[in-house]
Amino acid sequence: MKAVPNIWICDDDYRRTELLDIYNTCTYTERFANRDSWEISLPRKSPAVPWLKIGRILHMYDPISDIVRCLILKQINISDDEIRLAGNDYAGDLLGQRICLSEVSSGTGYDTQSGSRETVIRHFVDTEIINADDSARQDPVLTLAEVDWERGGEVAISARFDVLEDVVATCCASSLLGWQAVVVDDASYEWGWRLELQLRLGVDRSQNQSTESPVTLSEAFGTAKIKDFCDTLPETNFVIVAGQGEGAERHLVSVGLQSLSGIMRRESFCDARDTSDDDEMATRGYSAISDAISTSIEMEYLDIGGFSYGSDFTIGDIVTVDAGVCSAYDLQIATVEITWSGGGETTIDLTLGTEIRDLCRLISDVYSAMPDMRR
């Protein structure tokens, strides 16, 4: 992987103006269902320095994903010999700066939506940003992908003064659904481009399926180098969710893996007295289970043959990981950190499991490696 990103700086009118072609390192951390972050170091004498100021929009062509990303510059640090730039992806930062205000002054005061996760996410992004009632809350560059594929399974959620980024993350939790934002050339915009928010599905490429070519990351196979491994017995795997009502009349929904018993059944309670919708209550229960899971593996991907990141597998996919312990794990790639040096060297660090979507599978994996303590 010798190709390095091309980076352009946009002017105050959103037009690509200055090419930032001299830098020491460029690191981009992509998250499957949350905002990305990035950092670039460059010499103090770089010709691009006069163009740098907080709030600038940058475009970065990612040669591995073959897309153009839109970045916002949020921090500038200057030392004796270099300048360090840092920020987030534009769309992720925007989601984090909007709260859900739709319907707060009408009806129940909540914007309640149910349906496919993709449809619900699109609704909130459209209502709170793209076609927000207050024009000051709208954004000139963000758009939604043209087609709603209704992917990700069903979800029900109510929002009132919630951060939009958190609402989107909740919709993605316990599923294989994530999102990304891609710069699309569009002559209908006076600056020549727009930013398209796209929903995406991870693919199960583990050894426990037969549809896709399986991918195994392992030090023994020479496809990865384990940097950190942590597997912890979750405190919760079965949640009782209590909705509206009082006393014995209170509406209850339970979620979790029914097959676990004895000490391996780990119960908790979730108070959801603002709703009586079964789907919304189940969403909150699974969110509590997801928060309790702390299986995490950090590794450096080694591109020495076998599986190629970006073509054979990518962020959001479920792969099999041999961590050198008693059993292999099927985990989703939640975060990918790619660092390019000015000399063309590339390193790829993967974090798996911290934002796992297939909860029932993960719970099964965690407990299958443990002794039978039900006797």
Whole-angstrom distance, CA of residue 119 vs CA of residue 113: 9
Output the average pLDDT for the chain. 89
pTM of the full predicted structure?
A: 0.83
| Cα dihedral across residues 63, 65, 68, 71: positive or negative | negative
Query: Over 6-31, what HEC string results?
Result: EEEEECCCCCEEEECCCCCEEEEEEE
**How is residue 309 annotated by DSSP?**
B
The pLDDT of residue 223 is 87
Confidence band, pLDDT 50/70/90 cuts, at residue 326: low
Q: What is the full DSSP assignment across 72-126?
A: EEEEEEE-SSEEEEEEEEHHHHHHHT-B--TTTTSTTSSEEEEEEHHHHHHHHHI
Lowest-confidence region among 23-27, 193-197, 258-262, 342-346:
342-346
Tokens of residue 36, six digits = 């990305």
Task: State which H helix or E strand residue 342 sits in.
Answer: none
The pLDDT of residue 368 is 47
Task: State which H helix or E strand residue 293 sits in.
Answer: none
Evaluate whether 179 touches 121 at the Cβ level (below 8 Å).
Answer: yes
Residue range 95-152, pLDDT digits in tens: 999 999 999 999 989 999 999 999 999 999 999 999 999 999 999 999 999 999 999 9
Percent of the chain past pLDDT 70, that is, above it, reads 93
pLDDT of 359 strictly over 70:
no
